[in-house]
Every structure is written in C-alpha cells, then in structure tokens.
Amino acid sequence: MADNTAIERAAPMLSPHEDRAFVLEEVHARPFRPIETPARLLHFAFLSAGAERDTEREALSLYCQENGHDAIPANARHHRVSFGDIHLRWERHSEFATYCWYYKHPAQADFAAEPATLAPQMYAILQPGPHLVAIDLHIVDVSSAPDIDAMFAKESLCVMTAEKGGVIVATDFKPDAGGFVKILVVNNGVPAMRIGALAQRLLELETYRVLALLCLPEAQRLEPSVRQIERSLVDATQEMTQTVSLEDNESLLDKLVVLAARLEAGAAKSLFRFGASRAYQNIVLGRITAIGFEPVPDRETFQAFLNRRMAPALQTCFSLEERQVNLSRKLARATQLLRAKVDVAMERQNRDILQTMSERAQLQLRLQQTVEGLSIAAVSYYVVGLLGYFLKGLAHGVHAFDAELAMGLVSPIAVVFVATLIRQRTKRFHPSSNSHNYSIR
C-alpha cells in the first residue's frame, strides 16, 4: 500500500513529451465500427490542401450545428455524427478528406436505390476540393445476394473470398453511370465487427488505389519535356567536342544551365506526387495482405488485376522519376566538363594577355633606356659646353693654360657624373626599373 501511494505521488511529477498524447491517440484515431448486414456505404474522397482544409471543417461543422449536433473541434482530424438512420464518418488525411455515409436500413441498402438519391447531405455540404473517389459498397447476406455476373462488367470482374471463406467480395473497379465504383460483399455469417473491419479496408483499398494512380497524368505531362531535354543534352555534348572559342563554350554553358533549370523545375513539381504514389502503392498492398483474400476458381483475383493494370502505370511513373534523376546527374557532369573547358580556355587567354603585357613592358623598358641614354648625352653636351666657356675664359687670364686639353680631360668626367646623377634620380622614382622581368614560363 505504501508503494502504491508513493507511485501515485510520483506520477504527477513526470514531465510528458509534448507529442505523447498525440502519438498515443493516433493508433486509436480510426477504429473499426461494427456493421450489421444488410448495409450500404457511400464513400467519397476529395483532394484538399491549404486554406481548403479549414474551410472544409467549418462547412461540415456548420452543417452539423444546423442539424442539432455539436460543432467539430478546431483541431479534429476525424469525426462521427448520425442523422437519424444515416451515419457519417469524416476523416482528414494529408492531402485529401473522406466522407463515408453508412445506411443500415434495409430500404436504403436496396440495390435499386440510386447512390445520388441516398446521399443528399453530401451535395448539401460545401465541396472541400476536387472530387476524386466515389464508392458504392453493398453488404448483403447470402439469401439476398444479386447475380454477380449481371451486376459487374465481365472483362474486369474480380471475385475473391475473405474471412476464411465467410465473405465473398466482388468488384470490377469501373465507375457506373453515376460515377460510383461498386463493391459487393456477400456475408455468410461473419460477425458485424469483422464486417466493419473488412468494409473499411475495402474502402481504403479503392481510395488509395485511385490516389496512387494520380502520378500517371503528371508523368504523361512531364515525359515530352524530359524527352526533349535528353535530346538537347545529346546535341550539347556533341557540340561540346567541336567548340573552340571561349564565347562558344560560354554560350553552350548557358544552354546547359537552362536545361538543368527546366529539369529541376519539373522534378520539383512532381517530387511530392511520385513520392505520394509510392506510399499509396505500399498502403494498397498492405490492405490486400490485411484482408487475406483467397482466390475463387475461374475468377480473376484482386492481386492479378492490380498487377496487370495498376503496376505498369506506376512503373511508368517511377521510370520517369528515375530518368529525371539520371538526367540530372548527366547534366551536372556535362556542366562540370564544360566549366573545366571554359576555365582552361580562360587560363590560356589570361596567359596570352600576360605574355603580351610582358612584351609591352620590355619594349617600354627599352624605350626608357633609350630615352635615358639620350638624356645623358644631351645633358652631358650642355654641361661640357658650359665648362668649355669657363675654361676658355680661364685660359685668357692664366698664362700657358690649355683650354682645349682641359676640356678633353673634363668631358669624360662630366659624362660619368651626369650619367650617375640621372640614374640615381631614376631609381628614386622607379625603384624596380632596373629589375623588370615579365617573362612567362
């Protein structure tokens, strides 16, 4: 007793994870409901996202309030409500919402009643988004079972048993004149809870089958663009071997960048659709396994039908997705190769420019040396001339002084002095003028 008291005192002190309650409730969010035979279920699925999700919940909540029921909680993802003998089960999924109307009155479960006349409430509620799925599920006992061959198209009729042979399931996966895909369940003594589980899995099987195939129209729209990009890439790689000038390579690089941008735009647009279809396909296979279908002699099975019709369509989509991935890699490699080619061409061009600059610098250095030599000669000429005037004047005042001899001796000294002075001043303004070396190795 003391231990229990200690546990009760300690429990309130535990700090739960912020998502603990959500995770625990998720596995109980969509329980099976018992369905008595006979019964009829009309199941609808609508694509909806973004603001449509809140609008949808508000519209359904308003409809419930107008018919005497409580409003739907703002964060609810599923809800059940009854309108007399009609029961509605609403569920919110990632990109779609489902409305399942359950009719358990024998008159409502009659095959003669048109589906649209049984669900006026569905047409009274604001449609949350594009309509995608409409299923008319009939659950009957063996004594009142209709003729399966007369009810469905023979070319796509699938018939199997479930619940260890206690249930026969038949459908042709084809919409009727009202747009509903009919599924027939013939019950031979299976309890209501097991029928409820089977009905929910059958509805999910058909819903996710349709959702999985949404990738096919997207793949068909993208395939011409992907094919054109593949051809353009082949042309670009062939042109890459022929281009020589830097301008041509840069133009080709721009083309590759445009192709890569177009491919990535298409891949980004289809990324969610292809990924969702792959997930929906796994759910479909999981539902088939969970139902535990058993074949009926001389009848096509659900697995065989889906493998023959659904699998090739999905493989087309996944093949296109793989083509996008491979094409993206090829574009990246081609772009890298062309960039390397452009970089080499630019380095070669830079080398030529530096070589030209080196030659110009050497010419400039030679011109500077020539000018420097002429400057030395000119300045030396004027200096010697001035000294000549001085020495000639000195010869008139000093007896036996030879002015011409003195000029001959002074001239070399004057030239060396002028040359030294000019070069010192040149070094002062151009410290590296005597060490230019622009040779490119």
Same domain, 38 and 183: yes
Q: Which domain holds residue 240?
A: 215-351
Same domain, 268 and 388: no
Q: Which helix (H) or strand (E) holds 304?
A: helix 302-397
CB 92: neighbour CB atoms within 10 A? 18
Task: Give the rounded distance of the alpha carbon of 308 from its chain centre.
Answer: 30
Would strands 96-103 and 86-92 be described as parallel, antiparallel, or unpaired? antiparallel
Same domain, 123 and 144: yes
Q: What is the pLDDT of residues 23-65, one digit of tens each?
A: 777 666 667 788 988 899 999 999 987 767 778 888 888 888 8
Same domain, 327 and 389: no
Q: Is residue 101 part of a domain?
A: yes
Q: Which of 351, 386, 411 is the last residue of a domain?
A: 351
Question: 305: domain CATH number?
Answer: 1.20.58
Same domain, 103 and 141: yes
Q: Which residue is it, tokens 């082949």? A: 234
In whole numbers, what is the pLDDT of the chain averaged over residues? Answer: 83
Same domain, 39 and 146: yes
Contact yes or no for 281/303 (Cβ under 8 A): no
Q: Which amino acid is at 441?
A: R
Same domain, 261 and 307: yes
- Give the Cα separation of 430 and 6 in Å (integer): 93
- Note the pLDDT of residue 206: 94
Same domain, 149 and 40: yes
Same domain, 333 and 306: yes
Q: Which of 301, 327, 351 is the last residue of a domain?
A: 351
Q: Which residue is it, tokens 């996966």? A: 173
- Give the Cα separation of 167 and 293 in Å (integer): 10
Same domain, 135 and 267: no
DSSP 71: P
Q: Is 280 helix (H, G, I), strand (E, B) or coil?
A: helix
- Note the pLDDT of residue 223: 92
Q: Which of 288, 317, 351 is the last residue of a domain?
A: 351
Through-space distance between the first and last CA atoms of the chain, rounded to whole angstroms:
94
Task: Please report, for residues 96, 250, 317, the alpha-carbon distance to residue 276 in angstroms, rounded to integers and kept in the order given.
Answer: 12, 39, 12
Alpha helices in 188-245 (DSSP H): 192-212, 215-240
* Residue stretches of the chain with pLDDT short of 70: 1-13, 26-30, 51, 105-112, 397-400, 403, 427-441
Task: Please report, for residues 186, 321, 329, 350, 437, the alpha-carbon distance to residue 161 in angstroms, rounded to integers and kept in the order given.
Answer: 9, 36, 48, 79, 94
Same domain, 150 and 49: yes
Task: Please report, for residues 189, 292, 367, the alpha-carbon distance to residue 167 in angstroms, rounded to integers and kept in the order given.
Answer: 8, 11, 107
Same domain, 142 and 281: no
Q: Is residue 130 part of a domain?
A: yes
CB 126: neighbour CB atoms within 10 A? 12
Q: Is residue 87 part of a domain?
A: yes
- Note the pLDDT of residue 249: 78
Q: Which residue is it, tokens 């110009």? A: 360
Q: Is residue 196 part of a domain?
A: no
Q: Is residue 407 part of a domain?
A: yes
- Per DSSP (E only), the strands in 5-71 are 39-47
Contact yes or no for 121/101 (Cβ under 8 A): yes
- Note the pLDDT of residue 119: 72
Contact yes or no for 236/334 (Cβ under 8 A): yes
CA atoms within 13 A of residue 19's CA, in its CB half-sphere: 2
Q: Is residue 57 part of a domain?
A: yes
Total structural domains in the chain? 3
Q: Is residue 103 part of a domain?
A: yes
Contact yes or no for 85/105 (Cβ under 8 A): yes
Q: Is residue 65 part of a domain?
A: yes
